Amino acid sequence: MTLTCTNVTLRQKPLRNDRISLYLDYYPAIRNPYTMKMSRREFLGIYIYAKPKNEQQRMFNQDMLNKAEAIRCIRVQSLINEEFGFLDKNKQKVDFLAYFRTKAREKYEKWDCVYNHFEKFVGGKCTFGDVTVELCEKFRDYLLKCKQINHPNAYISRNSAAGYYSTFRALLKIAYKEKMLRENLNDFLEKIEWKEVKKEYLTLDEVKKLAATPCKIPVLKQASLFACMTGLRISDILKLDWHDFEVGPDQGYYIRICTEKTETEATLPISQEALELCGEWGTGKVFKGLTRSMTHHPLKQWIAEAGIRKHITFHCFRHSYAVIQISLGTDIYTVSKMLTHKNVTTTQIYASAPRLVA
């Protein structure tokens, strides 16, 4: 098999005003991996005198030719290493905000929130050329001092800032992998440290009390109790589809999902009680009509009507599942797998919670 090697030749193009433009000629033409267009010429922006009149101009010409030849050698090496960044000179002009918005739509709600903060921070304009270490550091400072988008009178918490900045750094990593950024800016950025806070959860008795309390939105009650029994996040419950369910060799029921937050694939067994909360077997979404807005005020109202005075969010049902399982004697490694944690140390924080059952 014969490999075709691209030749890179330094050429000259006569211009007006007694000048010559230097450019590189690629043969065969090479395909730009970003625009997918074929490229033959690369003008270097280097000019020499067509008819040097004195020794100074001749020395200038020789110096520029040496520089152009050095660039030619670098290009040859880049082609051998399949590094084509030099071809895409317009990439820095690409709209970074549009790129961010596209990625946020592929993810979950927090990405939208981070996008809104970043758009506000940059004043609605940002290209890839603007994305520097300095800009990222300023965005970090902004998050530590900014107010909430929907509640302008309240500042975001430190842990929210840490989560938002972590999401932003994940975006930078994706952009680097997709060769939209020439270097991994994360190597030069300092993360925002999380502040230890008490993780609120429901006891087994409180879950039973909640189950016995009527809810004005039946699907919210079903999804909430399902979360208490499975530990699934709201993002995964919202997209849960009937085709995610299957019957195992032991005739038990399982859910096969790819978690939205960590993009972890998992096969999770579920109990008959949890399955019954899903309603009649069907097609499409399991919890039809469920929205994120229901998990705010309607959820608080239902919890208050159950006589529970704790500050419980929907995510607390995930904490409740973990604590109850460990209290019932379930092995921490099993709980870790059910929560789709990548590391068991993340699960160990629940082991220190007070025992909920005798």
pLDDT digits (tens, 9 = 90+) for 57-81: 999 999 999 999 998 998 888 777 6
Cβ 290 vs Cβ 314: under 8 Å = no
pLDDT of amino acid 119: 95
d(CA 109, CA 234) in angstroms, rounded, equals 10
* 14/12 Cα distance (integer angstroms): 7
Which of 256-265, 272-281, 313-322 is least confident? Answer: 256-265
| Residue 356 pLDDT level (bands cut at 50, 70, 90) | very low
**DSSP H/E element including 25:** strand 19-31
Residue 330: the pLDDT is 78
Q: What is the pLDDT of residues 120-144, one digit of tens each?
A: 999 999 998 899 999 999 999 999 9
Place of tokens 């520089």: 67
pTM score of the predicted model: 0.56
Give residue for tokens 């939105």: 217
* 247 phi/psi in degrees, rounded to 5: -100, 130
CB atoms within 10 A of CB 3: 4
What is the Cα–Cα distance from 16 to 202, expressed in whole angstroms? 81
Distance CA 34, CA 180 (A): 9
260 pLDDT band, cuts 50/70/90, is: low
How high does pLDDT run on average in the chain? 86
Name every residue whose Cβ is closer than 8 Å to that of residue 320 and which is 6 or more positions away in sequence: 201, 202, 203, 207, 228
State which amino acid sits at residue 206. E
Q: What burial letters (b/e) apply to 245-284, b meaning 16+ CB within 10 Å?
A: beeeeeeebbbebebbeeeeebebebeeebbebbeeeeee
**Cα 271 from Cα 276, distance rounded (Å):** 9
Contact 310, 202 (CB under 8 A): yes
Percent of the chain at pLDDT above 70?
88
Residue 246, helix vs strand vs coil: strand
Of 133-142, 207-216, 234-243, 256-265, the least confident: 256-265
More confident residue, 261 or 272: 272
Is 209 in a helix, a strand, or coil? helix
What are the tokens at 305?
């009507």
Q: What is the distance between the alpha carbons of residues 170 and 258, in angstroms, rounded to a whole number?
A: 18
According to DSSP, the residues that pair with 285 across neighbouring strands are 241
Q: At what angle do helices 204-211 and 316-327 cross, to 10 degrees?
A: 130
Strand boundaries in 262-309, DSSP class E: 265-270
Q: Which residues contact 137 (CB under 8 A, 6 or more apart)?
A: 189, 190
Helix-strand-coil split of the chain, %, nearest 5: 50, 15, 35
Phi-psi domain of 284 (left: phi exceeds 0; alpha: psi -120 through 50; beta: other) = left
Residue 14, strand partner residues: 20
